[in-house]
Amino acid sequence: MMNEFTIANMLDLNETIAAELFEGKTYPWEVLPEIGDFIMKLGPTLNPSEYECKDGNIWIARSAKVAPTASITGPAIIGKDAEIRHCAFIRGKAIVGEGAVVGNSTELKNAVLFNKVQVPHYNYVGDSVLGFKSHMGAGSICSNVKSDKKLVVVKDGEEKIETGLKKFGAMLADHVEVGCGSVLNPGTVIGRNCNIYPLSPVRGCIHADSIYKNASEIVKKQ
């Protein structure tokens, strides 16, 4: 069943400037250790008429809207027509896709946001990949370190994949809706077109086209 949670089945690589980062890999979390180096490789190749380079390692599209109160630490790429709102906190190793929204008091770290992603209110997204048009409701977060500090294991029922990663937030496929106040525990992987009910503590793998009501009630969309 883990085949459902491969890059090919979760993400439209036409909807990210970082497609090359995912090439040759099977699962989306495999990119996490390479995001920073990839930005430093890609940034200098971006057209300076379209992207302004700041501080040597931050590339911001000239069509993007960045609030003067936002804090951006490199390496980072802010895509075309993206919106970085008041008091957003981008801590480095972050790629924000075209038309994406990073909202007030939202914090990003070591993350790839595909095009049209919305993390608009009080979200934490660390060591995570958010697919095309995925949306995190207000106050929903990606918890990226286990309380026992052990390496993260991706679990789908009895199937397990050792990631070798201590820090691993969540992998959201394209068109995922996460309800307000939800916590995506370390190693959470959510398939395409899923809806997560508000205030949900989510862990493990959620199969595509599902509605997550609670851990014991996950139903297929009709």
Active site residues: 121
CA nearest neighbour of 135 among 176, 107, 99: 176
Tokens of 70: 């936002």
Written as one letter, the residue type at 147 is: S
CA nearest neighbour of 167 among 148, 187, 141: 187
Q: Determine phi and psi for 64, rounding to 5 degrees.
A: -75, 155
216 DSSP 8-state letter: T
CA pair distance 93, 102, nearest whole angstrom: 15
Written as one letter, the residue type at 134 is: S
